[in-house]
Structure 1
Amino acid sequence: MAYQGIRPLTLAQQYAALRVDWPEGEAQLDQHGLRWTGPLQPTALGRRYVVQVSYPSLAHEPQVHVLGPSLKQLAPGRRIEHLYCQKTERLCLYTPKQHEWRPQLRLSRTLLPWATLWLLYFEDWVITGEWQGGGTHPTPRPARTFSRTILRRLA
């Protein structure tokens, strides 16, 4: 779904906005798309994280990953809330089906502030065990069980 009459920002426009709005990070634009890598710190007393935004093309959704410190090491043995992928530590910042982020929006004014807020909620979650950031998760499907009748037929 597009904003009516508003064209998506090009990767070059996104690159320029990232360099202006988040100069402490490093932006790269090449044949693999746009990448921004830089520090985010949710509060003055909070930890500094190194985050990477990857945006391969306008046909793909941008992705945000925490490169360090490892979220898994900060919350050992726990499943981390609001990650699209536990292994790559890809942050769940918006619901794609609800079009909360669109290519007409600046990464520098949406995803990076959202990631900073996500990290604030993460730090609180590590201490309290409760996610205060809201959002939704697909509920895992329960394990499928078979009735005794079906199991007898399969035997």
Structure 2
Amino acid sequence: MSVMFQGRKVLTLAQQYGTLRQDWPEGQGGLTKTGLEWFVALQPAPSSRMYVVRLTYRSLNSYPQVHVVSPSLRELAGPGKIPHLYCQRTLRLCLFTPWLREWQPHQRISRTLVLWAETWLYYFEDWLSTGVWQGGGFHPEPAAARPRIRF
């Protein structure tokens, strides 16, 4: 029996893995007892450095997470705050806004999050040289600083 989300068939972790292998054959990873893990090298522009990105997806009840494995974003950026991250400590890339449902579990990770990570890296490199984040989007704030929405 397939799982549905908002009337659409959810892709299983195995299906997500299959599409990653198909769309990013140079990547490596697999299904583990803790979920899906995929590593892929991305170069956001021909003149850019190469980045190795780690994508993890623990279960259909969670969101996939994307981190840059190398080079170190912290070493590139220095001690200040790096823009557009979900968390400064873990350096998890902010690629979509969950409450706006910009990514949903029926979408292929290989055609959304991997490409969004490459775009994020493009704007990160631009930010390194200009000091201005041009990538748009919401900038996550600690939960205590977010306004509460009441219905």
Structures share fold, TM-score greater than 0.5: yes
- The SS at the match of 1:134 is coil
Partners of 1:25 and 1:36 within 8 A in 2: yes
Q: How far has the Cα of 1:139 moved from its partner?
A: 4.9
1:6-155 aligned within 5 A: 6-139=8-141, 141=145
| 1:139–1:91 CA distance, 2 compared to 1 (3 A) | closer
- Cα distance in 2 for residues equivalent to 1:90 and 1:83: 6
- Cα distance in 2 for residues equivalent to 1:96 and 1:61: 8
Partners of 2:56 and 2:64 within 8 A in 1: yes
**Are residues 1:2 and 2:5 paired?**
yes
TM-score normalised over the length of structure 2: 0.88
TM-score normalised over the length of structure 1: 0.86
CA RMSD, 1 decimal? 1.4
Query: Structure 2: which 5+ runs fail to align?
Result: 146-151
Aligned-pair identity (%): 56
- Cα distance in 2 for residues equivalent to 1:39 and 1:85: 22
Q: How far has the Cα of 1:63 moved from its partner?
A: 0.2
Partners of 2:28 and 2:38 within 8 A in 1: yes
Partners of 1:3 and 1:104 within 8 A in 2: no
The residue identity in structure 2 corresponding to 1:53 is: L
Q: Residue deviations 1:92-137, cap 9 Å, x none?
A: 0000011100000000000000000000000000000100000112
Q: How far has the Cα of 1:3 moved from its partner?
A: 3.7
Higher deviation after alignment, 88-97 or 132-141? 132-141
The residue identity in structure 2 corresponding to 1:2 is: F
Partners of 1:33 and 1:54 within 8 A in 2: yes
Partners of 2:95 and 2:113 within 8 A in 1: yes
* Corresponding residue number in structure 2 for 1:147: none
If you compute each CA radius of gyration, which structure gives the higher value, 1 or 2? 1
